[in-house]
């Protein structure tokens, strides 16, 4: 269990989005003074931040203004989305994220920030290690020799190295977190930027009880999925650790996309026919997180199972769509302070 802060001032970028909004709420619960920054306000509920700067972090002057006076920076701002978006927007994603990331790393160093956490991605891992559905779990050192996903993954890997160089050349303490597929309430669920759990939950919610669901690919591609509470817990633990190299943050509960559909359908109380479309983007064939280093460094790893986390996620998405859903169930084994935050609880109550 994480203790309270000593009154530090922290900046959370990307706080108009999913993970950073949850992180802001948790940091406030822990007693931090939080400045949030994003080009947009949170979509589904007001921020809990002490200050919200609605600014474009592609501008270097805005990065400097956001970092001014901060003890720590959690840099989660990114142009991103599901496989449909990131596979078709290489130029836009690479340009936007490069401008934000370079500007933020530089601004944090110039502002004398004590620690800087960068949110990277499992997309940095080589494509040739992810050709099989029964994939070998990816270790942090597997990122090199490099062959990341085009655009998004390549830029993330470059910025990981930039953080390393700023530590080596300027002594700025950096932390790098490689996210593996995060889901939960208050996340994007339509519009083209949603991830697989949210997209499938939306499709299941809108399907007739004895209807069908369209699935991208053949359904046998594999992934792991991490509930947002575990993600936020891991982010804060990694920031507080003394470890400065990249760390995976995900689960090692490997499932096929067809199995994910079955889990969401069970939460909805539906049995649906699966219709596969192999012409749609499906990303790498398989991806799994090796958590051995995370366990060794933190003495902790994500614990909320996919079946547990999907229930409040599906219920929240169903409510946004105006669809009746089964009663929400909060994972019983998770301590109260680490269950879905008060904001998410109110959204799914």
Mean pLDDT of 36-54: 97
Which is higher by pLDDT, 197 or 338? 197
Would the CA dihedral through 311, 316, 320, 326 be positive or negative?
A: positive
* pLDDT score, position 77: 98
Pick the CATH number of 9-348 from 2.60.40.10, 3.50.50.60, 3.40.50.720, 3.40.50.1000: 3.40.50.720
Q: pLDDT for 314-327, tens place per residue?
A: 999 999 999 988 76
pLDDT in tens, 211-246: 999 999 999 999 999 999 999 999 999 999 999 999
The domain ranges of the chain are 9-348
pLDDT at residue 265, rounded to an integer: 96
Burial class, 206, CB count within 10 angstroms (exposed 0-12 / middle 13-18 / buried 19+): middle
pTM, full prediction: 0.91
Q: Tokens 């369209």 sit at which residue?
A: 214
Q: How far apart are CA 65 and CA 107, in angstroms?
A: 8
What stretch of H or E contains 228?
Answer: helix 228-240
55 by Cβ neighbours in 10 Å (0-12 / 13-18 / 19+) ranks as: middle
Q: What pLDDT was estimated at residue 134?
A: 83
Does residue 328 register a pLDDT over 70? no
Local confidence band at 187 (pLDDT 50, 70, 90 cut-offs): very high
- In 180-270 the beta strands, taken as DSSP E runs, fall at 182-183, 212-216, 222-223, 226-227, 247-249, 255-256
Partnered with residue 115 across adjacent β-strands are 72, 173
pLDDT of residue 63 exceeding 70: yes
Query: Number of C-alpha atoms within 13 angstroms, CB side, residue 11?
Result: 33
- Orientation angle between helical segments 306-321 and 257-268, nearest 10 degrees: 60
Residue 1's pLDDT band (cuts 50, 70, 90): low
Q: What is the pLDDT of residue 341?
A: 31
> What pLDDT score does 133 carry?
87
Question: Does 336 have pLDDT greater than 50?
Answer: no
Confidence band (pLDDT; 50, 70, 90) for 281?
A: confident
Catalytic residue positions, numbered: 152
The residues near 329 (Cβ < 8 Å, ≥ 6 apart) are: 308, 311, 312
Whether residue 345 is predicted with pLDDT greater than 60 in this model: the reply is no
């Amino acid at each position: 269990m994480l203790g309270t802060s000593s009154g530090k001032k922290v900046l959370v970028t990307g706080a108009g989005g999913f993970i950073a909004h949850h992180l802001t709420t948790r940091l406030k619960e822990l007693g931090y003074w939080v400045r949030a920054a994003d080009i947009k306000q949170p979509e589904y509920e007001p921020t809990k931040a002490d200050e919200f700067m609605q600014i474009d972090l592609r501008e270097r002057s805005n990065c400097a203004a956001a970092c001014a006076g901060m003890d720590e920076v959690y840099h989660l701002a990114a142009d991103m989305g599901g496989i449909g978006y990131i596979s078709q927007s290489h130029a836009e994603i690479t340009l936007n994220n490069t401008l934000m990331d370079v500007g933020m790393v530089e601004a944090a160093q110039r502002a004398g920030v004590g620690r800087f956490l960068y949110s990277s991605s499992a997309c940095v891992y080589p494509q040739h290690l992810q050709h099989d559905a029964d994939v070998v779990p990816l270790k942090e050192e597997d990122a090199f020799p490099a062959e990341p996903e085009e655009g998004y993954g390549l830029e993330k890997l470059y910025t990981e190295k930039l953080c390393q160089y700023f530590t080596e050349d300027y002594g700025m303490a950096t932390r790098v977190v490689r996210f593996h597929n995060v889901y939960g309430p208050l996340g994007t669920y339509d519009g083209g930027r949603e991830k697989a759990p949210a997209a499938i939950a939306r499709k299941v919610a809108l399907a007739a009880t004895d209807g069908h669901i369209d699935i991208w690919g053949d359904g046998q591609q594999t992934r792991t999925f991490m509930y947002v509470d575990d993600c936020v817990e891991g982010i804060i633990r990694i920031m507080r650790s003394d470890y400065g190299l990249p760390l995976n943050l995900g689960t090692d509960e490997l499932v096929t996309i067809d199995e994910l559909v079955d889990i969401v359908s069970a939460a909805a109380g539906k049995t649906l026919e699966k219709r596969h479309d192999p012409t749609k983007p499906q990303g790498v064939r398989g991806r799994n997180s090796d958590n051995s280093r995370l366990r060794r460094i933190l003495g902790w790893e994500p614990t909320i199972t996919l079946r547990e986390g999907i229930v409040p996620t599906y219920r929240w998405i169903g409510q946004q769509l105006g669809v009746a859903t089964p009663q929400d169930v909060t994972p019983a084994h998770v301590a109260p302070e680490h269950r879905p935050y008060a904001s998410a609880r109110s959204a799914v109550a």
